[in-house]
C-alpha cells in the first residue's frame, strides 16, 4: 500500500526497537540529546503510518504527530510500549489532518472513472484518495501495520464491529476503484 515517495514499509528490527525504547527512557529522564535522537528515530516510523492516511498532507500529519509525541512524552508510563503509543498518536493526527484538509467524504462509486478513463492513475495513492480518512486509517492499521481488528478498533476509538465494517467497506471500495 505504499505510494511512490513514501517511507519504506516493514517492521522495525529488534535492535531499532530496543534503541527507541532506550532513547525514550533517557528522554523521560530529561536527556535533551536523547529526546532529539528519539524524535529523529521515530520520524520514519510515524511517516510510514501518516502518509497513507493523510496522503498529500502526510508530512504535515507526521509533524503534528511528532509534536504531539514530544509534548506528551511525560505521559508514556512504560517505555516498552513506545511504538504502540506513538502509533496511536500518528493515526489520530493523520486522521485529524486529513479531515482538516476536507477529504472526509468518500467518493461515490459512480464517480470512479472507467477503466479507459485517462484520469485514472494506476497507483495506490490515487485509489487511496477516494477513501475517507477513517477508511484509510483502518486499512493502514490492518493491512500495513498488521494489527488485529480489536487493536485497530482501540486505536481508532471505535467498537470492534465498527472497525470491522469500516475495513470491509474500505477494502471493497479500494478493490472497486483499483480494478475500475
pLDDT of residue 12: 84
pLDDT of residue 64: 96
Nearest C-alpha neighbor of 11 from the set 41, 37, 45? 45
The DSSP code sequence of 34-91 is HHHHHHHHHHHHHHHHHHHHHGGGHHHHHHHHHHHHHHHGGG---GGGHHHHHHHHHH
Nearest C-alpha neighbor of 36 from the set 24, 21, 48? 24
Task: Indicate if the pLDDT at residue 85 is higher than 90.
Answer: yes
Confidence band of 102 (pLDDT split at 50, 70, 90): low
Rounded-to-integer distance, Cα 94 and Cα 68, Å: 12
Q: Look at 93-102, 145-154, 158-167 and tell me which has the smallest mean pLDDT.
A: 93-102
pLDDT of residue 180: 67
pLDDT of residue 111: 54
Q: Which residues of 39-61 are buried (b: 16+ CB within 10 A; e: fewer)?
A: bebbeebbbbbbbbbbbebbebb
* Length of the chain counted residue by residue: 180
Q: pTM of this prediction?
A: 0.65
Task: Indicate if the pLDDT at residue 61 is higher than 90.
Answer: yes
| Tens-digit pLDDT profile for residues 143-153 | 878 888 889 89
Amino acid at each position: 500500500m505504499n505510494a511512490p515517495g513514501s517511507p519504506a514499509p516493514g517492521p522495525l528490527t529488534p535492535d531499532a526497537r530496543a534503541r527507541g525504547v532506550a532513547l525514550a527512557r533517557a528522554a523521560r529522564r530529561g536527556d535533551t540529546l536523547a529526546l532529539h535522537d528519539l524524535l529523529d528515530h521515530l520520524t520514519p516510523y510515524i511517516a510510514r503510518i501518516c502518509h497513507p492516511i493523510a496522503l498529500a498532507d502526510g508530512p504535515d500529519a507526521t509533524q503534528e504527530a511528532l509534536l504531539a509525541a514530544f509534548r506528551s512524552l511525560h505521559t508514556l508510563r512504560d517505555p516498552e510500549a513506545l511504538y504502540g503509543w506513538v502509533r496511536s498518536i500518528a493515526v489520530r493526527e493523520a486522521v485529524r489532518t486529513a479531515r482538516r484538509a476536507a477529504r472526509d467524504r468518500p467518493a461515490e462509486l459512480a464517480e470512479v472513472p472507467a477503466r479507459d478513463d485517462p484520469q485514472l492513475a494506476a497507483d495506490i495513492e490515487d485509489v487511496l484518495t477516494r477513501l475517507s480518512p477513517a477508511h484509510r486509517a483502518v486499512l493502514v492499521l490492518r493491512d500495513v501495520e498488521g494489527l488485529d481488528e480489536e487493536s485497530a478498533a482501540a486505536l481508532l476509538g471505535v467498537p470492534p464491529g465498527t472497525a470491522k465494517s469500516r475495513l470491509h467497506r474500505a477494502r471493497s471500495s479500494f478493490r472497486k476503484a483499483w480494478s475500475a
